[in-house]
Amino acid sequence: MAPEFGVPKTLVRSAGVPVTQMYNFGKDWAATRRLPQAIIIGVKKGGTRALLEFLRLHPDIRALGSESHFFDRHYALGLNWYRSLMPKALEGQMVLEKTPRYFVTVESPGRIHAMSQDVKLIVVVRDPVTRAVSDYTQIVSKTPGVPSFETLVFRNGTDEEFQVDNLWSPIWIGLYAVHLERWLAYFPLHQIHFVHGEKLVSDPAEELGRVQDFLGLQKIVTDKHFYFNKTKGFPCLKKPEGSSKPHCLGRNKGRPHADIHPQVIHRLQQFYQPHNLRFYQMTGQDFGW
């Protein structure tokens, strides 16, 4: 009996794969690399990695594991290069990628719109104050000797005049309304889904249910897939099929945050309040920060 798809037996054998096993590869051969139909565009330290890992449980999702940074850093390489990065997907499967930097990059909305006007966009947002502290904590872990948070967050290095440096990246990223305004110039609001970062931790199944609805997927990822890791302080995946252990995110996830003076936190909350209120008005959602 000849192998399926007209593949000669000699070729099959030379590949070092049993012929009977190769016969079952028909579906894999039908898979193709496609441009993403959905992109997690932000925000950094909001919970994007967790969301990606949770979505990868869904059989109708094919997701790129790494951040491509195509629309912010590598756009000159072209769409064919971008497509070549994507995992192969069958008809009916949705291709997804995640690069949080897109949300704050000025050129990204127009570039993504030029690729597809119908792409679905996902933004994981989190209290901008705790997001900024988390961002700073990551910076310190990678660059020892960084000045204190209090020194960097105020323009003159002190909090006497409450001059928050809104150009410092950990603060600037949290100006969600400013960044969203650029996206709404290209995409209607109904094409952008906002994931509540805090609820992604406290009730991942509920947030994943909303994301699956937004993507038009059957609700397959449910509360049965999660358990809460008290040590790390966030949800982990129960034992995946083919694995002997539960799956938690990397060792850097859930690291203790830098200890910031309460007065500094309070002043940042005051700084962000009008920006948060504007963001709530733009999205029609109150995130309760």
How does pLDDT run across 179-211, given as a tens digit for each residue?
999 999 999 999 999 999 999 999 999 999 999
**32, 38, 43, 48: CA torsion to nearest 10:** -60
Q: Is the peptide bond before 43 cis (omega within 30 degrees of 0)?
A: yes
CA 244, CA 169: separation in Å to the nearest integer?
Answer: 40
Say what the pLDDT of residue 156 is: 74
**AA letter at 253:** K
C-beta atoms surrounding 186 within 10 Å: 16
Q: Is 254 annotated as a binding residue?
A: yes
pLDDT computed for residue 29 by the predictor:
63
pLDDT computed for residue 283 by the predictor: 99
pLDDT of residue 14: 35
Q: What is residue 181's predicted lDDT score, i.e. its pLDDT?
A: 99
Under CATH, domain 33-127+171-255 is a member of which superfamily? P-loop containing nucleotide triphosphate hydrolases (3.40.50.300)
Tokens describing residue 170: 């950990």
Q: Name the E strands within 34-77.
A: 38-42, 61-63
User: Which residues are tagged catalytic?
Assistant: 45
- Annotated binding-site residue? 45: yes
- List pLDDT tens digits, range 64-109: 999 999 999 999 999 999 999 999 999 999 999 999 999 999 999 9
pLDDT of 12 reads 34
144 annotated binding-site participant: no
Angle between helix 48-55 and helix 204-215 axes, rounded to 10 deg: 70
110 is in an annotated binding site: no
Dist. CA 259–CA 88, nearest whole Å: 44
251 in a known ligand binding site: no
256 is in an annotated binding site: yes
Report yes or no: 121 and 183 within 8 Å, Cβ to Cβ: yes
Delimit the domains of the chain by residue range.
33-127+171-255
Query: How many CB atoms neighbour CB 43 within 10 A?
Result: 25
Q: Which residue positions in the chain have pLDDT lower than 50? A: 1-26
- Give every CB contact of residue 126 below 8 A, 6+ residues apart in sequence: 43, 45, 46, 47, 134, 197, 198
CA distances for 238 relative to 217, 249, 278, 282, angstroms: 21, 12, 38, 36
Q: Is 233 annotated as a binding residue?
A: no
Residue 23's pLDDT is 37
